[in-house]
Amino acid sequence: MKNLVLAATMLLVGIAAMAQTRNLPKPNIQRKTLSVMETYKQRKSVREYSNKPLSDQDLSDLLWAAQGKNRPDGHLTAPTAMNKQEIRLYVFTAKGVSLYNPQAHSLTQVATGDHRDIVAGRQDFAKTAPVSLVMVADFDKFGAKNEHSQWMVGVDVGIVCQNINLFCSAAGLCTVPRGTMDQKAIQTLLKLNTNQIPVINNPVGYGK
**Average pLDDT of the residues of the chain:** 93
Q: Decide if 21 contacts 107 (C-beta within 8 A).
A: yes
Question: Average pLDDT for residues 105-127, to the nearest whole number?
Answer: 97
Classified as helix, coil or strand, 52 is coil
Which structural domains are found in the chain, ordered by start? 22-205 (3.40.109.10)
Question: Average pLDDT for residues 116-134, to the nearest whole number?
Answer: 97
Beta pairing class for 96-101 and 87-92: antiparallel
Q: Which residues are 49's β-sheet partners?
A: 207
Q: Would the pLDDT of 9 be above 80? A: no
What is the pTM for the complete model shown?
A: 0.90
Euclidean distance between CA atoms 73 and 103, whole angstroms: 10
Strand (E) or helix (H) holding 151 = helix 147-171
pLDDT score recorded for residue 1 = 54
Type of residue numbered 140: D
pLDDT score recorded for residue 11 = 43
Which of 136, 150, 131 shows the shortest CA–CA distance to 202?
131
Please write the tens of the pLDDT for every residue from 181-196.
Answer: 999 999 999 999 999 9
3-state helix, strand, coil in the chain (%, to 5): 40, 25, 35
Please write the tens of the pLDDT for every residue from 20-55.
Answer: 999 999 999 999 999 999 999 999 999 999 999 999
Question: Average pLDDT for residues 127-150, to the nearest whole number?
Answer: 97
Classified as helix, coil or strand, 31 is coil
Q: Decide if 61 contacts 24 (C-beta within 8 A).
A: no
Percentage of the chain with pLDDT > 90?
A: 90
Which of 108, 107, 101 shows the shortest CA–CA distance to 87?
101
Residue 167 or residue 5, greater confidence: 167
Question: Average pLDDT for residues 82-95, to the nearest whole number?
Answer: 98
- 135 Cβ partners below 8 Å, 6+ apart? 87, 88, 89, 90, 157, 160, 161, 198, 199, 200, 201
Q: Decide if 67 contacts 83 (C-beta within 8 A).
A: no
Classified as helix, coil or strand, 198 is strand
